[in-house]
């Protein structure tokens, strides 16, 4: 079987169950559908529901599993995606419960989907190694006794059927060895990058990193500030690799601006671990611009998710300006720079898309660069 036999995108049934009463449950389901879409599959039906706690065996519970089976049959689909992290046993039980009706059934969880997107997007050798490492570590949690023949058929989400992945044949021990090798190679690549960074650091220019939730508009803002054309797309995780540009903002005001991978709620821990090396650009920055989609009703949760990842990678202490982006989508909001009583910048409202507020942001950055320059001159004297 190959992807060519079925050129259409694979059809997926999305299961988005609320546990308890989370805020913005509807928007969460929509984000999950966008994730599946970004992975290259198409959500043909979303099954919603609410439980007080997950069912230990199948997460969804008996009734929902029936509903899932019906949906699979109606749509001729063989992919189920849970917008949750499932245990190895839950995946296995779900596949067992559905295999009679749908012989090629594959159950993916949220981590599978995110890893799948990252695997498709990785461009640099370092990025590819990091994703491979995260996938192997995730896979090793799935290799449990009593696993059926099914795992051999699991492939990428965007592909229909497809040959089993090469990792699948590896047993846990071999995965362990693989993981060690990958970590070693990542360390070596990381050393090269660290040397390059040291070169930049010595030049004494202010290092500014754009961070934020995926699809907030970081790359669009990067292009506006740097006047370049980094890849922008209305999809989740359009950017995976860090890009850094030197930007001249005026006399004695040059900065090194970095565009970075976006964050998402419940970012798989294995992925954060694997990407730590790349995210070091973020930790080492002098200033973070935390880009927020101001028009998104979930912006508070998104900001919290970003804060969580930042503290996980040790970047919580880096000075931060909040950049409320996309104000063109919020009626009544004007571009502005909000400062506290001491003149310290708290947040800046802009639209990277229309360009309003960008001049003020560039000016604020120039000012910060000059301050930093004076600071370093003073300390050198």
Ligand X SMILES: Nc1nc2c(ncn2[C@@H]2O[C@H](COP(=O)(O)OP(=O)(O)OP(=O)(O)O)[C@@H](O)[C@H]2O)c(=O)[nH]1
Residues lying near ligand X in the complex (CB under 6 A): 212, 214-220, 232-234, 236-239, 262, 325-326, 328-329, 351-353
Closer to ligand X at the Cβ: 60 or 361?
361
Which partner, Mg ion, ligand X, none, binds residue 325 by CB below 5 to 8 Å per kind?
ligand X
Closer to ligand X at the Cβ: 270 or 326?
326
Residue whose entry in the numeric block shows the structure tokens 């300390």: 379
- Residue 210 makes contact with Mg ion by CB under 5 A: no
Distance CA 159, CA 157 (A): 5
Strand positions, DSSP E, the chain: 11-19, 42-51, 79-82, 106-108, 206-212, 243-248, 254-259, 287-293, 320-325, 336-339, 345-349
Among 98, 238, 253, 366, binds Mg ion (CB under 5 A): 238
Tokens, residue 250? 């005026």
Which partner, ligand X, Mg ion, none, binds residue 270 by CB below 5 to 8 Å per kind?
none
Report whether 275 contacts 133 (CB < 8 A).
no
CA dihedral sign of residues 251, 252, 256, 259: negative
Which partner, ligand X, Mg ion, none, binds residue 353 by CB below 5 to 8 Å per kind?
ligand X
Site for Mg ion in 327-356 (CB under 5 A): none
Query: What's the closest the beta carbon of residue 293 comes to Mg ion, in angstroms?
Result: 12
Size of interface with Mg ion, in residues (CB under 5 A): 4
Q: Of all residues in this chain, which one has the CB nearest to ligand X in the complex?
A: 262
Closer to Mg ion at the Cβ: 212 or 357?
212
Report whether 335 contacts 166 (CB < 8 A).
no
Closer to ligand X at the Cβ: 214 or 274?
214
Closer to ligand X at the Cβ: 232 or 364?
232
Closer to Mg ion at the Cβ: 221 or 277?
221
**In the chain, what is the straight-line distance between the N-terminal and C-terminal CA atoms, in Å?**
70
Q: Of all residues in this chain, which one has the CB nearest to Mg ion in the complex?
A: 239
Tokens, residue 34? 């966008």
What's the number of CA atoms in the CB half-sphere (13 Å) around residue 75?
A: 21
Residues near Mg ion, by CB under 5 A: 218-219, 238-239
């Amino acid at each position: 079987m190959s992807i060519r036999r079925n050129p259409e995108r694979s059809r997926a049934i999305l299961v988005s169950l609320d546990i308890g009463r989370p805020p913005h449950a509807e928007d969460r389901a929509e984000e999950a559908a966008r994730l599946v879409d970004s992975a290259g599959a198409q959500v043909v039906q979303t099954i919603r529901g609410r439980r007080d706690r997950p069912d230990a065996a199948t997460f969804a519970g008996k009734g929902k599993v029936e509903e899932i089976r019906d949906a699979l049959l109606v749509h001729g689909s063989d992919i189920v995606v849970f917008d949750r992290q499932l245990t190895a046993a839950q995946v296995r039980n779900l596949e067992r419960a559905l295999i009679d009706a749908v012989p090629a059934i594959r159950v993916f969880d949220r981590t599978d989907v995110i890893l799948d997107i990252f695997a498709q997007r990785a461009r640099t050798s370092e990025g590819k190694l990091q994703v491979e490492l995260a996938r192997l570590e995730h896979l090793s949690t799935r290799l449990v006794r009593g696993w059926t023949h099914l795992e051999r058929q699991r492939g990428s989400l965007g592909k229909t059927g497809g040959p089993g992945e090469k990792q699948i044949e590896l047993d846990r021990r071999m995965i362990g060895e693989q993981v060690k090798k990958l970590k070693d190679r990542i360390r070596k690549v990381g050393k090269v990058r660290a040397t390059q960074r040291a070169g930049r650091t010595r030049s004494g220019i202010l290092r500014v990193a754009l961070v934020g939730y995926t699809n907030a508009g970081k790359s669009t803002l990067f292009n506006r500030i740097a006047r370049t054309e980094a890849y922008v797309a209305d999809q989740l995780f359009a950017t995976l690799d860090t890009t850094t540009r030197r930007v001249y903002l005026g006399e004695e005001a040059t900065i090194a601006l970095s565009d970075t991978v976006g964050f998402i709620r419940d970012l798989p821990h294995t992925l954060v671990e694997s990407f730590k090396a790349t995210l070091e650009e973020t930790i080492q920055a002098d200033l973070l611009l935390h880009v927020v989609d101001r028009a998104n009703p979930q912006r508070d949760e998104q900001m919290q998710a970003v804060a969580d990842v930042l503290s996980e990678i040790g970047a919580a202490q880096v000075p931060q300006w909040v950049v409320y982006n996309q104000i063109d989508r919020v009626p009544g909001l004007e571009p502005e720079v909000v400062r506290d009583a001491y003149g310290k910048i708290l947040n800046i409202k802009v639209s990277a898309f229309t360009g309003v507020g960008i001049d003020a942001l560039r000016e604020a950055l120039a000012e910060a660069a000059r301050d930093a320059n004076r600071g370093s001159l003073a300390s050198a004297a």
